[in-house]
Amino acid sequence: MTIVVKNKDTLIYDDFIFKCCVGKNGFSKKKIEGDKRTPIGKFSLECIYYRSDKKDKPNTKLKSLKIKKNMGWCNDIKSKKNYNKLIKKKAKLKYEKLFRHDYKYDYLLPIKYNWNKTKIGNGSAIFIHLTKNYKPTAGCIGISEKDFLILIKLINKNTKIKIL
């Protein structure tokens, strides 16, 4: 089955309809790093990342990884080797910090956008993550924690996401 992001505030999976939020500047077929747009297309999903110091290991068929203080997601357009990959934080690289002080990355699910044949500058760190207020994101998809936990119980490693 496929998760479908139907519009800027609706995510559907099977018979479940979840409220969501997307990039501040809407959707794009030609995503660019920092444009605050959510990429259009059909993508695979990675494993679940979670903050074990704040949350229990989620009930899911997907592999689950604990977020550590030294984890980051490289968004440095000068790093061909690390761009759009999970990294150990390095002073010389720009990255999205995964061990955050707020709640947004208490659980997160990377979307495999710009993944296998990564193109520098085409966007990085596109996740399904938590939101409480449904304010627009920097390009990710935000859903409530309750809905996130329901969604990850239903999906498996073969589930895709289609962003219209």
Q: What is the pLDDT of residue 90?
A: 79
Q: Which two tokens stand for residue 137?
A: 């994101």
Q: What is the pLDDT of residue 124?
A: 97
What span, in angstroms and rounded, lies between the C-alpha atoms of 1 and 65? 23
Q: What is the pLDDT of residue 29?
A: 96
Would the pTM of this model clear 0.85, i.e. be above it? yes
CA 51 to chain centre: 15
Is residue 48 exposed (0-12), middle (13-18) or buried (19+ Cβ within 10 Å)? Answer: buried
Q: Which CATH number fits domain 2-163: 3.50.30.10, 2.40.37.10, 3.60.21.10, 2.40.440.10?
A: 2.40.440.10
- Which one-letter amino acid corresponds to residue 43? F
Q: What is the pLDDT of residue 91?
A: 77
Q: Would you give the DSSP letter of residue 130?
A: E
Q: Which residues contact 129 (CB under 8 A, 6 or more apart)?
A: 104, 105, 107, 108, 109, 137, 140, 141, 142
* pLDDT tens for the chain, residues 1 to 164: 999 999 999 999 999 999 999 999 999 999 999 999 999 999 999 999 999 999 999 999 999 999 999 999 999 999 999 999 999 987 789 999 999 999 999 999 999 999 999 999 999 999 999 999 999 999 999 999 999 999 999 999 999 999 99
What span, in angstroms and rounded, lies between the C-alpha atoms of 95 and 105? 14
Q: What is the enclosing helix (H) or strand (E) of 147?
A: helix 145-154
Using the structure block, give the residue that is written with the tokens 């977020």: 67
